[in-house]
Copies of this chain bind each other. A is one copy, B any other.
Amino acid sequence: MGASLKDVAALAGVSVKTVSNVVNGYTYVAPHTREKVEQALAELEYRPNLSARNLRRGRTGVIALALPELDAPYFAELSRFVIDAAVERGWTVLIDQTDGLADREREVLQGIREQLIDGLIFSPITVGREELAARTDSTPMVLLGERIMDGPTHHVAIDNQRAAREMTEHLISLGHTRIGAIGAQENPSANTAHLRLAGYRQALEAAGLPYDERLAPPTASYHRADGAAVMRRLLELDEPPQAVFCFNDLLALGALRTALTSGLRVPDDLALAGFDDIEDGRYSTPTLTTISPDKAHIARTAVELLDARISGSGRGGRPAEDDGQREVEADYRLIVRESTVRP
């Protein structure tokens, strides 16, 4: 182990408290003393032991970011922003990968790393409202990307349903009447998927178009392979769709690959739209029409909400009323690119 405060104090010929004062930047240290201490600090290459400090302070300065998969571009991009925002506030971020598995998500909720983290930013996939409500762990938490009304916790998300409706309306406005959807989920607690499907159906209904279940088959997950596979099925239909709204960009990229290799021209023979605005879709050919959630905003807001909760939960922190459950709606934009409209 490295040098401790005691070692430094001994070398500098002062008390532990004085060293601590210098280390923590307190005022009221005589210049001469300060200098002596700093010399000793440097000589011994002193590094505070964070475990000890945390134990004493009751805080660790670490928050967890729990998400399904780090290698899904949407989450990778989001993580970058969350980490940036957290670091700006002096926090360290550790990652919990749940793979979207119900068990792991439940573990996260019950606090596997309680006492090691001051707070948690959680992007769930499978756990539903009941499980969130049943949470006993008291670690401050902020939910991401879900929109469970009356949920017991803070959360930040875009209006998925409205965004999905807008995208579908965009496809309708191009004159398409047979519009498919890729990304429906069979798991009833897959909230995001349900909201996007609801928005899709809403738009169809408003336009007087029928909802055809065969045009919106469920997918196993949200990867490129799923999009490619389901697209193949859609193309085998007697009446294939003229346009397809994919519930995320990965699905859309997979579907695009299938469409192109099937000899279809996009958007001429088939219009394709995605959701998430990951970078891939800005460089694919054709580029991808998509919904672009303001990821930086989402990340920043989540970190701020968590900060407020953590500060509020300490003794002598902010008033309790500030700690009420709060929902923040993040911005998004519909971005039209080449996959739906030839430039």
Please report A residues at the B interface, Cβ cutoff 8 Å. Answer: 1-2, 45, 47-52, 54-55, 58, 60, 62, 69-71, 73, 76-77, 79-80, 83-84, 87, 92-95, 97, 111, 113-116, 136, 138, 224, 228, 253-254, 256-257, 260-261, 279-280, 282-285
Known contacts A71-B76, A97-B80, A253-B283; A55 and B52 CB within 8 A of each other:
yes
Known contacts A228-B283, A284-B284; A48 and B115 CB within 8 A of each other:
yes
Q: Please give me the residue from chain B that is nearest to A48 by CB atom.
A: B115
Alpha-carbon distance between A69 and B58 when the two chains are bound, in angstroms: 31
Known contacts A256-B285, A283-B253; A49 and B115 CB within 8 A of each other:
yes
Contacts of A283 in B (CB 8 A): 224, 228, 253-254, 256-257
Q: Please give me the residue from chain B that is nearest to A76 by CB atom.
A: B76
Q: Are B80 and A2 in contact (CB under 8 A)?
A: no
Q: Are A80 and B84 in contact (CB under 8 A)?
A: no
Distance (whole angstroms) from the CB of A206 to the closest CB of chain B: 33
Contact of A285 among B50, B71, B73, B285 (CB under 8 A): B285
User: Could you list some 20 contacts between A and B, CB below 8 A?
Assistant: A2-B138, A45-B136, A51-B55, A51-B60, A62-B94, A70-B80, A71-B76, A73-B73, A79-B95, A87-B97, A92-B94, A92-B113, A93-B94, A94-B94, A224-B279, A253-B280, A253-B283, A257-B285, A260-B285, A284-B284
Distance (whole angstroms) from the CB of A270 to the closest CB of chain B: 14
Contact of A55 among B55, B69, B92 (CB under 8 A): B55
Contacts of A60 in B (CB 8 A): 51
Alpha-carbon distance between A284 and B256 when the two chains are bound, in angstroms: 9
Q: Please give me the residue from chain B that is nearest to A94 by CB atom.
A: B94
Q: Please give me the residue from chain B that is nearest to A65 by CB atom.
A: B95
Q: Are B51 and A115 in contact (CB under 8 A)?
A: yes
Contacts of A49 in B (CB 8 A): 55, 115
Contacts of A50 in B (CB 8 A): 113, 115-116
Q: Are B95 and A94 in contact (CB under 8 A)?
A: yes
Contact of A80 among B51, B71, B114, B282 (CB under 8 A): B71
Q: Are A76 and B70 in contact (CB under 8 A)?
A: yes
Distance (whole angstroms) from the CB of A193 to the closest CB of chain B: 21
Q: Besides the contacts A50-B115, A73-B76, A87-B97, what 4 more A-B pairs have beta carbons closer than 8 Å?
A: A51-B60, A79-B95, A92-B113, A228-B283
Contacts of A228 in B (CB 8 A): 283
Alpha-carbon distance between A284 and B52 when the two chains are bound, in angstroms: 51
Among A55, A113, A228, A285, chain B packs the most CB atoms within 10 A around the CB of A285
Q: Are B69 and A80 in contact (CB under 8 A)?
A: yes
Alpha-carbon distance between A94 and B82 when the two chains are bound, in angstroms: 13
Contacts of A95 in B (CB 8 A): 79, 83, 93-95
Distance (whole angstroms) from the CB of A236 to the closest CB of chain B: 20
Q: Are A92 and B70 in contact (CB under 8 A)?
A: no
